[in-house]
Structure 1
Amino acid sequence: MTFSILSVCTGNICRSPVAELLLASALEPFPEVVVASAGTGALVGGGVPEPAQRLAASVGIDASAHRARQFDPEMLREADLIVAMAREHRRIAVESFPGAMRRSFTLRELARIADVVEPSLPDAIRNAGATSPSDGMRAAVALASALRGTVSPPTSPDEFDIVDPYRRSEETYQRSFNELAPAAGRVASFLATAARMAASS
């Protein structure tokens, strides 16, 4: 059984494809994981801008083959986890498919929640009866959703978002990447930990 992740931003050319590729790379040891991305207002068929490609390449990620696509409710229905690049994308996703609410987070929000709730993973996996990597990851998402409201918010709500670098300066691309990459790494680590726990249970 697969575990599917959908990464969402506006144009699907800067933030969400880089997040998709970072998550896919980090979760490569788990063949059941499928990662995709889409845009709420996609520049359909567009590629990743050169500054974002360079930043991705700096961590060994080749983003040159990506082509933007528009998201639809069916993608949201099928995803086990939706990671939005900003709060507006999460809002649009949930409005498009309300059933996705408990599986939708901003990437930075989920990274923040993971820091707090990861010690509770063993109990969550046991209570869910998870014995496969994909079931373990689903248990992790359910845990993060259940405890979302218990995690103290950041000083500014903007810290839930990743800045949009499209058509902006090289410095903005760097800032966006600096916000995105650690969050993607933290989320991947949280899911991988849950997957390994479930598989060894």
Structure 2
Amino acid sequence: MPYGEPLVLPGDSFRILHVSTGNVCRSPITERLTRHALAARLGERVAGGLIVESAGTWGHEGAPMEANAEAVLADFGADASGFVGRELLDDHVIRADLVLTATRDHRAQVISMGHSAGLRTFTLKEFTRLVRAIDPATLPDPVEAGVVERARSLVRAAAALRGWLLAPSVEADEVYDPYGAPLPFFRSVGSEISEALDPVVSALTGVPK
């Protein structure tokens, strides 16, 4: 199998859950940018083994994405269609293999729900920082072992590093809420999210941007 087309075993999957407050701004942007980046690196068929979802701790159940969030996704060429807001439920956390939150407060709320979520829940920027410190050579080969096993190993490695690689400041782990802000601020947040996602997607897939 050519490099860049990792194997996904039938029925094998890895769920990534992005969490923010209302699930109409930050987490939809992060969800759709993650899907877009995975498909660009792996192709739609192979990326299907990595399931990307989102929800909100005070989620606007059934609500559409904010118009400015859609505009940000359009800037990146990512698909905003068909999105529906969700309130974060226990089942979402139970099924997730990796939970990435917009802020530390969201992370604390997810962990407080239980379900052994602590070792697989990070803020997005925290996970990015940890991933940058992991030697890709120590992770399973995405072609031989598959992207799902590689993703599981990445989460375990990041969890092991968490107590050793602290944030330089509280703000370093936060993605601030653009709800109600003008489009330029949404675009700034979108760029911030995209920059944080790039090393994560590279580590997950073994395929550089």
TM, length-normalised to structure 1: 0.87
Is the contact between residue 47 and residue 68 of structure 1 (CA under 8 Å) also seen in structure 2? yes
The unaligned stretches of length 5 or more in structure 2 are: 1-11
Q: CA deviation at 1:26?
A: 1.5
Cα distance in 2 between the residues matched to 1:23 and 1:51: 18
Cα distance in 2 between the residues matched to 1:170 and 1:54: 8
Cα distance in 1 between the residues matched to 2:166 and 2:139: 21
Cα distance in 1 between the residues matched to 2:111 and 2:79: 30
What's 1:31 paired with? 48
Q: Does 1:174 align with 2:187?
A: yes
The unaligned stretches of length 5 or more in structure 1 are: 197-201
Matched letter for residue 182 of structure 1: E
Q: CA deviation at 1:98?
A: 4.7
Output one character per residue of 1:66-108: Cα deviation in whole Å (capped at 9) or x when no partner.
Answer: 1101111111111110000111111100001250110001111
- Which of 134, 138, 141 is equivalent to 2:152? 138
What's 2:6 paired with? none
Q: Does 1:20 align with 2:31?
A: yes
Is the contact between residue 46 and residue 67 of structure 1 (CA under 8 Å) also seen in structure 2? yes
Q: Does 1:75 align with 2:88?
A: no
Matched letter for residue 87 of structure 2: Q
Aligned pairs for 1:119-134 within 5 A = 119=135, 121-125=136-140, 131-134=145-148
Q: CA deviation at 1:174?
A: 2.3
Matched letter for residue 172 of structure 2: E
Aligned residues: 188
What's 2:74 paired with? 57
- Which of 9, 12, 20 is equivalent to 2:20? 9
Q: Does 1:186 align with 2:199?
A: yes
The 3-state SS of whatever aligns with 1:27 is: helix
TM, length-normalised to structure 2: 0.84
The 3-state SS of whatever aligns with 1:149 is: coil
The 3-state SS of whatever aligns with 2:79 is: coil
Matched letter for residue 137 of structure 1: A
Greater helix share, 1 or 2?
1
Cα distance in 1 between the residues matched to 2:140 and 2:165: 20
What's 1:116 paired with? 133
Q: Does 1:162 align with 2:175?
A: yes
In terms of mean alpha carbon deviation, does 143-152 or 100-109 score higher?
143-152
Is the contact between residue 47 and residue 64 of structure 1 (CA under 8 Å) also seen in structure 2? no
